[in-house]
Amino acid sequence: MTSDLAPGALARFQDGFVHALLAPAGKPVTTIPPEVAALAAQPAFAVYRNTVMKGCIDALQANYPAVARLVGEEWFRAAAAIHVREALPADPTLLRYGAVFADFLARFEPAAELPYLPGVARLDRYWTEAHAAPDEKVLDPVAVAGLAPEALAATVLHAHPAARWAWFADAPIYTIWSRNRSGGALDDNLDWRPEGALLTRPRDAVEWIAIDAAGCAFLDACAAGGTLAAAAAAAVEVQGNADLARLMSALLAAGAFSGMSFNNNRQIEEGHP
């Protein structure tokens, strides 16, 4: 058996097919090969168009539930459809789809009146990342509490692989996000102030707490490999009145860390040929 189509026809077919799939509805597609145009003209072609679009939009809605609850399903799905045409999934694990959705919302003109939306999207994304992060035990706070002061200063805490945090200087993103994520009441009682958030997965489920600017700076310093002395200095630098003991015990209790090492030892190890 032989084919009527020339070699390379399959790739040509696939190029044309995806072009027709994503073309806005009702617009004739002119830049596709005739064998594909004949398919796109059949009413049943809409099954593929609808399935692909629905699959992508459903995934974004599943991955960004707080954003969807804030703007309503209709608005969300209309915005998502625009995003899908700009950025199809690169990965068939649709849990990972939407990595740049927060950036899209930040420059999406109809969302300009909702300046908190990209921040809320970012926390939805952090939830997904925490949910799918590698399994790792949480650092036992007792292990840290037992350290002598000089050892403590040289200790490096390792951020848990599920831990994600951010500081939002312009809006109470944590409060807006957590209310919408947990389906809580949407009352107007919102104190408009800067907020930070820590999400992590100490056990099976993702958990979250509010943290302040000092907490974020502290975690940033730890993630960069800094000692506790350096992390404490970073926290005090952004927030002069930071209560370091309370901050650290809150982060440890939340499960923000998976382990620790000692800077002195590491330097010795690294100095070894």
Residues at the interface with another protein (CB under 8 A): 1-5, 7-11, 13-15, 17-18, 21, 35, 38-39, 42-48, 51-52, 55-56, 59, 88-95, 131-136, 161-162, 201, 204-205
206 versus 235: smaller Cβ distance to another protein? 206
Q: Which two tokens stand for residue 46?
A: 């809409």
Question: Nearer Cβ to another protein, position 9 or 82?
Answer: 9
Q: Are the CB atoms for 210 and 194 separated by under 8 Å? A: no
DSSP for 192-253 reads: ---EEEEEE-SSSS-EEEEE-HHHHHHHHHHHTT--HHHHHHHHHHH-TT--HHHHHHHHHH
Nearer to another protein by Cβ, of 88 and 169: the residue is 88
Q: Which of 195, 199, 191 is nearest to 173 (CA)?
A: 195
Q: Which is nearer to another protein, 80 or 171 (CB)?
A: 80
| Token pair for 171 | 């809006």
By C-beta, is 2 or 189 nearer to another protein? 2
Minimum Å gap between C-beta 266 and another protein is 25
**Cα gap 161→83, rounded to integer Å:** 29
- Closest distance between another protein and the C-beta of residue 63, in Å? 13
User: At its nearest, how many Å lie between another protein and the CB of residue 4?
Assistant: 6
Cβ distance to another protein smaller for residue 14 or 31: 14
* Angstrom distance (rounded) from CA 57 to CA 76: 9
User: What minimum distance in Å lies between the beta carbon of 141 and another protein?
Assistant: 22
**Residue 226, CA atoms < 13 Å, CB-side half-sphere:** 16
Written as six digits, the tokens of 14 are 């696939």
Give the integer Cα–Cα distance in Å for 244 and 247: 5
Amino acid at the residue 79: A
CB of 22 to another protein, least distance (A): 9
3-state SS, 123-175, equals HHHHHHHHHHCCCCCCCCHHHHHCCCHHHHHCEEEEECCCCEEEEECCCCHHH
Instruction: Give the nearer residue to another protein in terms of CB position, either 13 or 75.
Output: 13
**Beta carbon of residue 207, minimum distance to another protein (angstroms, whole number):** 12
How far apart are CB 8 and another protein at their closest, in Å? Answer: 8
